[in-house]
Structure 1
Amino acid sequence: MKPVTLILAGGEGRRMNGGKPLRLLGGRTLLARTLDYAHQLDFPVALGLRSHDQISSIPELKIIEDRPDIEGPLGGVMAGLAWADSKGFNAVLTIPVDMPWLPDDLARRLIEKANGEPSYAYSAGNAHPICALWPVAKLGDAECYAAKGGRSLRGLLEILEARRVEWPVGDQDPFANLNDPLALAEAEHQLQKSR
């Protein structure tokens, strides 16, 4: 399998009062932390944004703009799949910019379970469709889903009969995301405690 990692960072982050990728955790931006994680996976990395001007100082990597006709993260996934197809990649691994505790074995386990099909993360009774492996071969099916008005990643994974990959949850859910200032403050507290 020849995947590319796509960091989904196109959300408006309204509950965070905007600019979520540039929020600080432990003195580093969420984007910088996610880039470090993505580069450790050893796949090419791209950044999905609503538009190039969403972030004033963009790191030197491929920027893929979300499909403007599709709202939410599905617009990022669709744009990523189309770009990957044009570049000869056969899958897109999506991760969000706001999950700082992602497990080290995410890519390996999703790829192992996929066997040519989509796969996604699951923990503590919750699906995490934004952490998923999307085969480029499913682009046509995804296009049909979007053309019929589908906008949910969860709904697309159901239609594609994606494979669920479960992770245990210890003291910290590895898929906890930082959606608001309170969650960010709690993550900062956890980080300081672990030092």
Structure 2
Amino acid sequence: MTKDDFPGWHGTTILAVRRGGEVVVAGDGQVSLGQTVIKGSARKVRRLGKDGREVVAGFAGSTADAFTLLERLEKKLEASPGQLARACVELAKDWRTDKYLRNLEAMLIVTDGADLYVITGAGDVLEPEHDVTAIGSGGNFALAAARGLMETDHSAEEVARKAMAIAAEICVYTNGNLTVESIRK
């Protein structure tokens, strides 16, 4: 069976919302293989770092690939403490140019509470507009819902939870079993 014959892993929605000095990253728990739900309680949002240089990251794509990228990001953060932008750019540069890394299939959302970035394998380090970003199968649904909810007085966590609930109702690859992490700067 070749890679093209394999039905592919689907089922990630990661959403980040920044409001009132807080950034909330929420991720659903569903992992699907083709039309089958393999797991409903995956944890795709994690805390990285320590000693006050904490970062929250969410990932979409291959789990093994994402973990490899998260480990690399942690090393970049150790080399550049307190400089999330620099660590993200260095990771994206390596990801795009390294023969092994360039084959990794994942995307990351990372935040230190002040800055918020989406990192892709194409070498992109993107800062979202409107203080909201999303990735994964249901990312566009969650993004649209969150953008609409930003017009309300809801907290960052309330916006994230409501937007993820809307995405879970629309996207068959997204469930309502959330992991939610928040960080302030």
Judge same fold: TM > 0.5, yes or no: no
Q: Which has the higher helix share?
A: 1
- Larger relative contact order (C-alpha < 8 A, sep ≥ 6)? 2
TM-score by length of structure 2 reads: 0.30
TM normalised by structure 1 equals 0.29
The structure that is strand-richer by fraction is 2
